[in-house]
C-alpha cells in the first residue's frame, strides 16, 4: 500500500548532482534499459558476417523503431564506406550515364516517409510448427523508420531511361555486391534513394551513406551501401531472386518475384519475453500490424484461442506501408489465455491462419510466412509460442 511502500524514501539521486550537459555528447538509454537490445540466434547461421539479428519488439511501443535497435541482415558484414569516396552510378539503357557523389545526390529535391522494412524470411523458422520463444525472434526481422531521400524517379529521369528500359538492377558496395532486379514501374513509383533514418545519417548497419527504400516490398530488395543502378530490358536472375527469395511450393515448383509483403500482425506484449508479472486485473495487450499494400484499418484480437474475437483499438499514425500499433485493454481473470491477433488491410485482405497458409504454400517455404501467431499464457502470466488448430 501507499503507506508501507519502502520506495517512498530519500534516494541517493535526490541528494547528489547529476551529470553535466556534455557527459554523453551522443546520448544513450538509461543503464536500467540495458536488456533492450538486438539479439541473434546463434544456430541459425554459420557465421556472424552473413547473418541476422532481431529487433526487440517486445520492449518497444509506438511505431517508430529507434535506430540502434533496427535488426541487421548482412550477407558480408557491415561495409565500412567512406562517404567522400562513395559514388552512385546509373548506367545501362539510359540517355546519359551518371556518376553521383553524395553531395550531388543531396541537391535533388527530397522527401520524408515512414516505411517498414520486413525481411522475407521473417517468421520463416515457424513454417513447420512453433519454434522460437519470443516475438523478437519470430517477428523481429522488421523495423519502421522515417527515411529522408530522393525519389528514385528523379535520379532515373536525370539519366533518361530509354523506352526499352523495363528493369533496374540495384547493387550494393559491400563485399557481397548484393543485387536485385526491380521492375521499372516500382522504381518510378515510390522508391527512395535514402540517406537519413529518423532524421540522422543512416547507421552503418543500415547502409550508410545511402540505401534503396522499396516500400512494402521484401527487405532483400532494399539494397544497402547502394553503388550501382543499371537499367535493362529484362530481369537479371541473380542469386537473390533464384536460389534465394523464391518460395518452393508443395508440388516442387518455386514461386518467383513475390515482392509484396502480405498483411501481418503480432502481439508484442504479453509475449514469451514480456510475461504478465502484475497478476490478475487491468491488463494492457498490445501489438503491431502492417501491410505492404496499404494501411491497417482494423486488427481483431482473441484471448481465448479464437472462440471470441474483439476489435482492437488502433493508436498512433496510420500511413501506407508502415507499422501500426494496436491495443486491447482487458481485465485478466488470472486464468490461462490463448492470444492471437488478426490484421485486416486497406485492400480488404485478412491475415490467414498458419493452417490456411500451409494449405496453399505447403511446408517447404522459408519466406513470406504471415500466418496468425498464438501465445499461450499460463496462470502465472508466463507466455509461450504455441500452435492451435
Ligand atoms: N544490401 C546489401 N548491399 N547487402 C546485404 O547483405 N541484405 C538485405 C537488404 N539489403 C543486404 C542488403 C536483406 S536480406 C535485408 S532483409 C535488408 O537489407 C535488411 O536491412 P537492415 O539490415 O537495415 O535491417
Ligand atoms: Co532479408
CB 192 within 8 A of CB 145: no
Note the pLDDT of residue 389: 80
The three cell numbers of residue 356 are 490456411
* Tally of CA atoms within 13 A in the half-sphere of 309 that contains its CB: 10
Residue nearest to atom 2 of ligand 1 (CA): 224
Nearest ligand to the CA of 177 is: 1
CA distance 269 to 162: 51
2 pLDDT above the threshold of 80: no
Alpha-carbon distances of 202 from 86, 98, 224, 385, rounded to whole Å: 14, 23, 10, 34
DSSP-H helix ranges across the chain: 102-105, 135-139, 152-159, 184-189, 354-361
> What pLDDT, on the 0 to 100 scale, is given for residue 303?
98
- CA 19 to ligand 1 center in whole angstroms: 38
- The set of protein residues with a Cβ atom below 6 angstroms from ligand 1 is 70-75, 117, 119, 143, 172, 174, 176, 178, 205-206, 219-220, 222-225
Per 3-state DSSP, the chain is made up of helix, strand and coil in percentages (nearest 5) of 15, 30, 50
Q: What is the mean pLDDT of the chain?
A: 97
CATH code reported for the domain at 264-386? 2.60.40.650
Locate the ligand 1 atom nearest the alpha carbon of residue 75 and give its number.
Answer: 6
Check pLDDT > 70 for residue 327.
yes
| CA–centroid distance, residue 140 to ligand 1 (Å) | 14
Q: What one-character DSSP code corresponds to residue 235?
A: -
Average pLDDT over residues 127-154: 97
Residues of the chain with pLDDT > 70: what percent? 99
CA of 246 to the centre of ligand 1 (A): 16
Mean pLDDT over residues 323-347, rounded? Answer: 98
pLDDT at res. 46: 87
Say yes or no to pLDDT of 38 above 80: yes
Chain centroid offset of residue 36 CA: 17
- The burial class, CB within 10 Å (0-12 / 13-18 / 19+), for 43 is exposed
Three-state secondary structure call for residue 358: helix
Question: What atom of ligand 1 comes closest to residue 226's alpha carbon?
Answer: 3
How far is ligand 1, taken at its centre, from the CA of residue 224, in Å? Answer: 6
- Predicted local confidence at residue 356, as pLDDT: 95
Dist CA 302 CA 218 (whole Å): 28
Confidence bin at 112 (pLDDT 50/70/90): very high
State the cell numbers at 180: 536485385
The pLDDT of residue 296 is above 90: yes
Domain residue spans of the chain: 74-255, 264-386
Please, what's the b/e burial string for 205-214 (b: 16 or more CB within 10 A of its CB; e: otherwise)? bbbbbbbbbb
Which ligand is nearest the CA of 219, by number?
Answer: 1
CATH superfamily of 74-255: Oxidoreductase, molybdopterin-binding domain (3.90.420.10)
pLDDT in tens, 178-194: 999 999 999 999 999 99
- The pLDDT value recorded for residue 1 is 60
Closest CA to ligand 1's atom 9:
220
Which is the closest atom of ligand 1 to the Cα of 120? 16
C-alpha 119 – ligand 2 centre gap (Å):
4
Closest to 264 (Cα-Cα) out of 139, 157, 151: 139
Amino acid at each position: 500500500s501507499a503507506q508501507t511502500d519502502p520506495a517512498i524514501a530519500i534516494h541517493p539521486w535526490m541528494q547528489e548532482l547529476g551529470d553535466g550537459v556534455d557527459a554523453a555528447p551522443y546520448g544513450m538509454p538509461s543503464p536500467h534499459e540495458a536488456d533492450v537490445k538486438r539479439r541473434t540466434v546463434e544456430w541459425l547461421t554459420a557465421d556472424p558476417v552473413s547473418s541476422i539479428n532481431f529487433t526487440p519488439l517486445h520492449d518497444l511501443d509506438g511505431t517508430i523503431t529507434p535506430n540502434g535497435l533496427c535488426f541487421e541482415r548482412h550477407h558480408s558484414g557491415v561495409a565500412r564506406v567512406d562517404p567522400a569516396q562513395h559514388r552512385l552510378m546509373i548506367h545501362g539503357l539510359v540517355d546519359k550515364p551518371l556518376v553521383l557523389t553524395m553531395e550531388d545526390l543531396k541537391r535533388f529535391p527530397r522527401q520524408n516517409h515512414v516505411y517498414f522494412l520486413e525481411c522475407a524470411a521473417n517468421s520463416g523458422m515457424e513454417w513447420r510448427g512453433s519454434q522460437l520463444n519470443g516475438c523478437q525472434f519470430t517477428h523481429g526481422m522488421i523495423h519502421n523508420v522515417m527515411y529522408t531521400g530522393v525519389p528514385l524517379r528523379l535520379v532515373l529521369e536525370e539519366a533518361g531511361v530509354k523506352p526499352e528500359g523495363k528493369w533496374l538492377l540495384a547493387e550494393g558496395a559491400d563485399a557481397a555486391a548484393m543485387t536485385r532486379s526491380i521492375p521499372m514501374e516500382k522504381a518510378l513509383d515510390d522508391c527512395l534513394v535514402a540517406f537519413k533514418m529518423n532524421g540522422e545519417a543512416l547507421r552503418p548497419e543500415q547502409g550508410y551513406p545511402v540505401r534503396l527504400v522499396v516500400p512494402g516490398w521484401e527487405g532483400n530488395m532494399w539494397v544497402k551501401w547502394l553503388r550501382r543502378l543499371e537499367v535493362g530490358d529484362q530481369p537479371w536472375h541473380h542469386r537473390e531472386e533464384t536460389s534465394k527469395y523464391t518460395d518452393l511450393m508443395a508440388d516442387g515448383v518455386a514461386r518467383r518475384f513475390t515482392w509484396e509483403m502480405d498483411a501481418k500482425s503480432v502481439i508484442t506484449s504479453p509475449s514469451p519475453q514480456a510475461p504478465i508479472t502484475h497478476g490478475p486485473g487491468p491488463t494492457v495487450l498490445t501489438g503491431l500490424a502492417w501491410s505492404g499494400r496499404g494501411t491497417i484499418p482494423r486488427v481483431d484480437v482473441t484471448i481465448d484461442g479464437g472462440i471470441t474475437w474483439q476489435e482492437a483499438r488502433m493508436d498512433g499514425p496510420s500511413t501506407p506501408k508502415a507499422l501500426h500499433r494496436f491495443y486491447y485493454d482487458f481485465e485478466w481473470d488470472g486464468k490461462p489465455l490463448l492470444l492471437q491477433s488478426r490484421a485486416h488491410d486497406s485492400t480488404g485482405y485478412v491475415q490467414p491462419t498458419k493452417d490456411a497458409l500451409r494449405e496453399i504454400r505447403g511446408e517447404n517455404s522459408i519466406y513470406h510466412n504471415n500466418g496468425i501467431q498464438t501465445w499461450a499464457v499460463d496462470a502465472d502470466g508466463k507466455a509461450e509460442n504455441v500452435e492451435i488448430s
